[in-house]
Structures are given as C-alpha cells and as structure tokens.
A and B are shown apart, each in its own frame.
Chain A
Amino acid sequence: MQNEWLYIGLFIVIGVIVPIVPLIASHFLAPHKPNPIKQSTYECGIETVGESWVQFKSQYYIFALVFLVFDVETVFLFPWALAMGNLPLFAVIEGIIFILILLAGLTFTWRKGLLEWA
C-alpha cells in the first residue's frame, strides 16, 4: 500500500460499518413491543428519584486536570525517546530534567492534598 494513512482512513470506515451490521440485523429480526414499564430506568426495580443526570464529585475534575498536564507532556517525550540513539548525553540529561520538573509538579499536587479522595 502506497499511502499508509489512506489505509488507516479506509480501516476507520470499515471498522465503523462492521459493528453496525449486527445492529441492523437485530433491528429486522428482533421483536419491538415497547411499553412504559419496560422502558423505565432500571435501578433495581425501584422508581428513580429525582434527576438521573446527577452532579459528580469535583475530585474527578481535579484528577482530569492533573492527567491533562501529564498527557500533553508525554507527547513531548515521544520525539525525545525516538531520537535517543542520535542524541548526545547532554540532551538526554536535559530530557531527564524536564521529567524532574514534571515530577515536582506532581509532588506539589500531592503536598497540596489534591490527590486525596476526601
């Protein structure tokens, strides 16, 4: 294949179509007899109280923020790791200093108590 990304694009198209096929088959073969009780929200047989779209614990948000920092940083680390063979020792140590700064950030959040689930 000459163009790898064209192949990936075709793969995405087929990869989305394949899971849809059994759903279509199911649409034609399965019975459809909806009624209000069947369609009610399943919470172990008890009627739902209040809104289903509840507020979530703010701790999830903080973890997501910490994750974002590290996620962006790993994208920077990939080129560094890839070029490792051609880099001088000094550049490798520079990369290590970069990681140390990130770990300092993690220590800061840790000391601040943001990693606690309370």
Chain B
Amino acid sequence: MTFWNDPINFIAGWLRSVFTDWGLTDGPANVITSLIGIVVMILFAMLIAIALVWVERKVVARFQDRLGPNRIGPFGIFQPFADIVKLIIKEDITPAGADKAVFNMAPVMSLASVILIWAIVPLASKIYGVDINVGVLYLVAVGSFGTLSVIMAGWASNNKYALIGAFRMVATMISYEIPMVVALLIPTIIAGTMSVKGITEAQSNLWFVVLSPLGLLLFMISAIAELGRSPFDLNEAESEIVAGFHIEYTGMKFGLFYAGELLHAFTFGGFMAVLFFGGYGGFFGLEKLSAFTWLSNPFIELVVFLVKALIGYWIIMWVKYSMPRIRIDHMLTFNWKFLTPLAFVLLMVTALFDKILAPTQFYVLGMFFSNISLAWIVIEILRRISKRERIEHERNAEPVIQVAHP
C-alpha cells in the first residue's frame, strides 16, 4: 500500500499511528482520524461549490451570448472569491416579523442536506466517505431535509411571496420524489445491491444506461424537479413571486442557499454518472488489460468521476437555460398522470425481464429493447390522445370570419 494506489487509507493509517504514538487508544484515534477525513471531504465539496459558481456564471453567459465574468484573474476565475467576500461583509437583514430561530436555521439546513449526500459519494474505488449498504435509500432520506429547509425558509420569512414559493417548491419536490425513488429502484434491481459503490462496480463491464435508458430519463427529469431548476423553477418565478422562498434572505444566508443549489445540481450529475454511466469506473473491462492497468489508479478514477459529474451538471444547466418555465398545474399533471404511471410500468417491466432473462444470453438485448418498445408505446398513446384532443378542439372552435380589407 503506497500513497499512489490507496491515498486515503495510507494517510489514515499514518495519522492513526501518530495518534497512538501520542498515547491515545485505538477508539479515540479512529474517531479523530475520521473527523479529519470528514473535514477534508466537506472542504473538497465546498471547493467544488466555489468552482461551480464560476462555471455556472461563465456557461450561462455563453448560453446568452455574453462574456461572463472576465475581470478578476484569467477568464475571471477568481470571481467567486470576490463574491464570497462581498457576501460575507454584506449586512444581514432579518425582517421584523420573521420567526428568527427558524429563519436562521433554514439556510444552514439547506446546505447541510447537500453536504450530507457527500458522505456516500464514491469519488474513486478507494476514495469515498463511507460505503453503507442502504446508500440509495440514504440519498432519498437526506434529500427530504432539503424539502424541510424550503418550507422552513418560506414559513419563517413572514412574506407572502416566500410562502407561495415554498408551497410550490414543496409540492414539486414531494411529487417528483416518487419517480425519483422508482428510478433509483431500477439500478438496485439490476445490480442487486443498494450500496452506491456496489452499483458502480456492477457496471464495470456494461453501463446501466444500456439496460435502462428510460430509467436514466426518469432520474434526470425528477432530479431537475427536485433541484427546483428550470423548467420546474416556478418556486422562484421572478416575474410573479420575485425569488420565492429565499426572497427575504440577504448576505451570506442567501449565499448558503445559492451554494447549496449549485452543489446539489453537481451531486445529482455525479449520481447520474454513478447510477447509469459507471461512476468512477465503467471502462468496459479495459482496465483488466495489462496496457491499461493505470485506469484503476484512484487519482485517474477521481478525474473520471469528476468529468462525468461535470457532464451531468452541464446537461442540467443546458436544460435550465433552454427551456421555458411551466405552470404549476401542468407540472403536477405531468408528474401524476404521466411520469408516475410510466415509472411504475417501467419498474414492473424491468423486474419481470430481469427475472426471466437474467440467466440467458439475451439479457442485455432484452432489457434494451423492452425499454425502447415501452418508450414507443408511450409515445404512440400520447400521440393518439393529443390527436383526439386536437380534433375535439377544432370542432368546438369558432369559425374564423375573414374580414376583407378595404
């Protein structure tokens, strides 16, 4: 075991020996080592969040045909640090009617709910916080803290806009949690484990996106809705309720919400990679060849994971900046009348085909084509319904009277 093939355990072992040399027993030495590891992990996540501020601003500028930040440092790369300094020295205003304790707790909880996910993010085969056997369920459980922080912020602000925004956001988040959980059940069924590291390792030969392309689509849509990003960002529709649940927050408290949102988007990009694109690995067995053994080096795996997560984040941004906002009734209708039934039908199909085809050599083809044909059937049903509605609409429409111009 050297630093290059197992950095975390190498440093942890060294720290543990240092602490035992100081006269600590094994228990406290382990706890202190873990604490140091946790702090490093969280600081790494926060560094990513700071970098994401720059990425987000630069990319949105390019989408809108602008230059974006370009004054501080090369390509404006130090802009987020200037932003942080500004946010910290800005006056923190608490509205007079606010419920102060809850008002102050909400932003902390919002960011903490995202940081907690990082306990299980598998950055590389040897670099991760902890590999719990209910990892996927933990992701859902921690995500609901975010919902709680939104309703806390909206309620405590003593502001009608904030309250309306919070209601909308919570309605979105709880509704889309159902397709999300189903989308998480599909990799669980295929891999036969709930640990995120186990799911990653099950994809070393074949990415799950091949076995379940519809599952990826479900996960992506529900992840964007959970994030409250466009086209589901009517919780902060600036033309009607200004900024939604965080309207009354200023200074660093707003900064925490902002950093939490960006980090959450990146984390979901990472989980898209972990669940469907092979996470840190997934080189299709290439790393077993003698010429490519360097692919299973933890640092290479870390880079691979970060690149995959960034691509996922970029897709979420792409959707955000190219789709118009939809109305709340459309959004809930879309979830309850389309996404939820589709998710459960897909779950049943996946379970059945997984059970019947698993021992045969038609497994991959069968799973792929069952997904494709399900997608085709769904599109066909939607086409028929919309055609019927269109004919109905045309029949009821008033005849257009042509007025001749003089």
- Interface of A with B (CB < 8 Å)? 1-2, 4-8, 10-12, 14-16, 18-20, 22-23, 25-27, 29-34, 36, 38-44, 48, 52-54, 56-57, 60, 63-64, 66-67, 70-71, 74, 77-78, 81-82, 84-85, 87, 89, 92-93, 95-96, 99-100, 102-103, 106, 110, 115-118
Query: Are A52 and B185 within 8 A (Cβ)?
Result: no
| Chain A residues closer than 8 Å to B46, beta-carbon distance | 18
| Chain A residues closer than 8 Å to B175, beta-carbon distance | 63, 67
A–B pairs, 25, beta carbons within 8 Å: A8-B138, A10-B31, A11-B116, A14-B35, A14-B39, A16-B108, A22-B252, A26-B88, A27-B92, A30-B252, A32-B92, A33-B91, A40-B95, A41-B248, A43-B159, A43-B160, A53-B155, A57-B167, A63-B336, A67-B175, A82-B192, A93-B352, A99-B344, A103-B344, A115-B333
Query: Are B352 and A92 within 8 A (Cβ)?
Result: yes
In the complex with contacts A10-B34, A84-B355, A92-B355, A78-B130 CB distance below 8 A: no
| Mask of B228-256 contacts with A, CB within 8 angstroms, 1/0 | 00000000000000100001100111011
B129 CB within 8 Å of chain A: yes
Query: Are A30 and B352 within 8 A (Cβ)?
Result: no
Query: Are A99 and B347 within 8 A (Cβ)?
Result: yes
Tally chain B residues at the interface, Cβ within 8 Å. Answer: 82
B53 CB within 8 Å of chain A: no
Query: What distance in Å separates the Cβ of A96 from its nearest Cβ neighbour in chain B?
Result: 5
B102 CB within 8 Å of chain A: no
Distance between Cα atoms of A30 and B90 in the complex (Å): 5
Q: Which of B92, B132, B354, B358 contacts A4 (CB 8 A)?
A: B132
Distance between Cα atoms of A26 and B88 in the complex (Å): 5
Query: What distance in Å separates the Cβ of A1 from its nearest Cβ neighbour in chain B?
Result: 6
| Mask of B76-100 contacts with A, CB within 8 angstroms, 1/0 | 0000000010011111111111000
Point out which of A2, A18, A93 has the most chain B C-beta atoms below 10 A from its C-beta: A18
Q: Which of A39, A66, A84 contacts B93 (CB 8 A)?
A: A39
In the complex with contacts A18-B42, A74-B185, A82-B193 CB distance below 8 A: yes
Q: Which of B131, B194, B255, B358 contacts A78 (CB 8 A)?
A: B194
- Interface of B with A (CB < 8 Å)? 30-31, 34-35, 38-39, 42-43, 46, 84, 87-97, 104, 107-108, 111-112, 115-116, 119, 129-132, 136-138, 155, 158-161, 163, 167, 170-171, 174-175, 177-178, 181-182, 185, 188-189, 192-194, 242, 247-248, 251-253, 255-256, 328-329, 332-333, 336-337, 340-341, 344, 347-348, 351-352, 354-356, 358
16 extra interface residue pairs, beta carbon distance < 8 Å, beyond A18-B42, A27-B92, A52-B160: A7-B129, A11-B119, A14-B42, A23-B252, A41-B97, A42-B242, A43-B160, A52-B97, A52-B163, A56-B167, A60-B171, A63-B336, A81-B351, A106-B340, A110-B336, A118-B329
In the complex with contacts A30-B90, A99-B344, A106-B341, A1-B130 CB distance below 8 A: yes
| Chain B residues closer than 8 Å to A8, beta-carbon distance | 119, 130, 132, 138
Query: What distance in Å separates the Cβ of A118 from its nearest Cβ neighbour in chain B?
Result: 8
Query: Are A15 and B116 within 8 A (Cβ)?
Result: yes
Q: Which of B43, B256, B352 contacts A96 (CB 8 A)?
A: B352
Question: Which residue of chain A has its CB nearest to the CB of B255?
Answer: A22
| Chain A residues closer than 8 Å to B34, beta-carbon distance | 1, 6-7, 10
In the complex with contacts A11-B116, A96-B352, A81-B242 CB distance below 8 A: no
Point out which of B90, B108, B256 has the most chain A C-beta atoms below 10 A from its C-beta: B108
Question: Which residue of chain B has its CB nearest to the CB of A3?
Answer: B30
In the A-B complex, the 3 residue pairs with the closest CB atoms: A117-B329, A26-B252, A15-B115
